[in-house]
Every structure is written in C-alpha cells, then in structure tokens.
C-alpha cells in the first residue's frame, strides 16, 4: 500500500491504512482526547462494550430518573437476584442493561404496578429479548439510558 495518505480516496482504504499503521490512530486519539475527553471515552466504551451499559453509564442514567410513589432504585445485587430467580442469563445483554430496564419501568409504573421486583424483571427480560417494536431489543437499555443521561444533563435529545 502506498504510504502517501493524500492518495487514499475511500474510507475502506483509510481504515485499512490505519489498521496497518496503528501508531497514527493512537496519535489521533490522544489529540482528540485532549480536546474532547468525554466523546473519546464514549466511543472507546462503545468499541469495547457494544451498545450495552457499563457501571458508569448505569449510574449516570439512574441519576437521571425520577422515582414516583416513594420508591428508589434497585441495586445491582437486587436485580441480579431477580435475574437468578427467573433463570435469566446475560447472553444478549448484561447485568447493567437489566438493572436499568427494571429501574426505568419501576420509576414510571410503581404507582400502577406496585413494587413487585419479579414482575419488573419479567418485563425487562421480555423487552430486552423480544420487544416486537425493536430490531435490536438487546440494545434498548443503552439507547434509553443515553436519553436519561442527556435529560439529566439538560442536553438536547437527538431522535
């Protein structure tokens, strides 16, 4: 491959070039990180975890929730216990995704459904596995959590 980067015209060739010259990518990421650390961290997390929550993103999303009916967020231990009792294994999504979904539904529905954790666990599992309105239901928690974080930080939402 020609080392003159100016001659590379299409994006596939650029990716291929950077694949063979990772030192250039490292320099670029370091410079971007100095100017936009939050953005670079987001994309690094996305590359490492896919569209799934991390502990940090979960915490930020939960902070953005308004809990009704004098309720508060379930801990990760509590929602993991629910998953275990329901026989849920985290294959398509992770424990943070599941915790977010349970807390999201409870924060909105506690006045109507009460606070039965098993009910919320079943619903969260269904929505992360089989949501008929979503092509990638296992990514739903990530996408919804990002909206909570933006609202909490009073950033404009992108739809």
Highest-confidence segment of 48-52, 84-88, 135-139: 84-88
Task: Give dist(CA 38, CA 49) in Å, integer.
Answer: 16
pLDDT at residue 135 in the model: 86
Cβ atoms of 121 and 87 within 8 Å: the answer is: no
Cβ atoms of 32 and 40 within 8 Å: the answer is: yes
pLDDT tens-digit map of 87-133: 999 999 999 999 999 999 999 999 999 999 999 999 999 999 988 78
Answering whether pTM is above 0.95, one says no
pLDDT at residue 3 in the model: 56
pLDDT tens-digit map of 59-96: 999 988 888 778 899 999 999 999 999 999 999 999 99
User: What residue ranges do the domains of the chain occupy?
Assistant: 1-35, 51-152
pLDDT at residue 159 in the model: 43
Length of the chain: 159
């Amino acid at each position: 491959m020609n080392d003159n980067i100016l001659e590379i015209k299409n994006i596939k060739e650029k990716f291929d070039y950077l694949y063979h010259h990772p030192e250039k990518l490292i320099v670029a990421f370091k410079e971007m990180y100095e100017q936009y650390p939050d953005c670079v961290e987001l994309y690094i997390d996305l590359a490492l975890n896919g569209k799934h929550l991390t502990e940090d993103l979960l915490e930020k999303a939960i902070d953005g929730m308004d809990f009704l009916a004098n309720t508060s967020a379930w801990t990760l231990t509590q929602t993991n216990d629910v998953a275990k009792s329901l026989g849920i294994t985290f294959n398509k999504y992770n424990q943070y995704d599941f915790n977010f979904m349970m807390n999201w539904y409870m924060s909105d529905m506690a006045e109507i459904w009460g606070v039965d954790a098993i009910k919320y666990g079943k619903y969260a599992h269904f929505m992360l596995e089989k949501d008929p309105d979503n092509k990638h239901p296992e990514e739903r928690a990530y996408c919804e959590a990002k909206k909570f974080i933006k609202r909490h930080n009073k950033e404009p939402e992108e739809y």
